[in-house]
Structure 1
Amino acid sequence: MTSPEMTVADLIDLLSACDPSTPVRQAMNPLFPMAHRLERVLQSVDETGRTVVYLAEGRDKDAQLGYLPPEVAIELTWQGPVQAPPRRSRRRAGGN
């Protein structure tokens, strides 16, 4: 990708490495990562007059699938890996 925005050619190139029968989902909102089903692809014109393609979420109540799997949010660098805090030895009755 040479521009800051992904192009249709970039998307096709990335998708060409995937199994064509695999469902496509959209990851949204880095601060509250959620997964959504895609329903439509729309072409329009933005405020500068440039043609733009939109990937649209479905309108039904099941279009938002829930939380994004943690490994996906980590891979997108939307969140860091979470590790359990180190274990401390337990205190015993009597202050030891």
Structure 2
Amino acid sequence: MTHPEMTVDELIDLLSACDRSAPVRQAMNPFFPMAHRLAQVVQSVDETGRTVVYLAEGRDEDTQLGHLPPEVAVALAWQGAVQAPPRRPRRTAGGK
């Protein structure tokens, strides 16, 4: 099954709704969600001759920023929303 690919035009439309001064990061690996800095945009041609644009992370050791914020992983449907278990009332010194 093939998945439709996002085009540069669609990416620009999505980015146009964002804060233009915000840093751009890449979310990677849904099974161990991490955030990475983007460093390059490279245009190339794939094996079918179609033009493709790649967003690449940097090569510096601080390119991987750490765990993806949980709300981002939930928004990407990479993990479910987790709620704390309901609290039980505390017992009093009298045992009730």
TM over 0.5: yes
Distance in 2 separating the partners of 1:47 and 1:82: 42
Percent identity between matched residues is 81
Q: Which residue of 2 aligns with 1:41?
A: 41
Q: Which residue of 2 aligns with 1:14?
A: 14
Mapped pair 1:32 → 2:32: yes
| Per-residue Cα deviation, 1:45-96 (whole angstroms, up to 9, x for no partner) | 1121111000000000000000000000000000001122345678xxxxxx
Match of 2:40, SS?
Answer: strand
Q: Give the root-mean-square deviation of aligned CA atoms.
A: 1.9
Q: How does 1:68-83 map to 2 (within 5 A)?
A: 68-83=68-83
Distance in 2 separating the partners of 1:8 and 1:32: 27
Q: TM-score, length-normalised on structure 2? A: 0.84
Distance in 1 separating the partners of 2:22 and 2:87: 41
Q: TM-score, length-normalised on structure 1? A: 0.84
Match of 2:41, SS?
Answer: strand
Distance in 1 separating the partners of 2:19 and 2:70: 22
Distance in 2 separating the partners of 1:64 and 1:52: 24
Alignment gaps of 5+ in structure 1: 91-96
Q: Which residue of 1 aligns with 2:94?
A: none
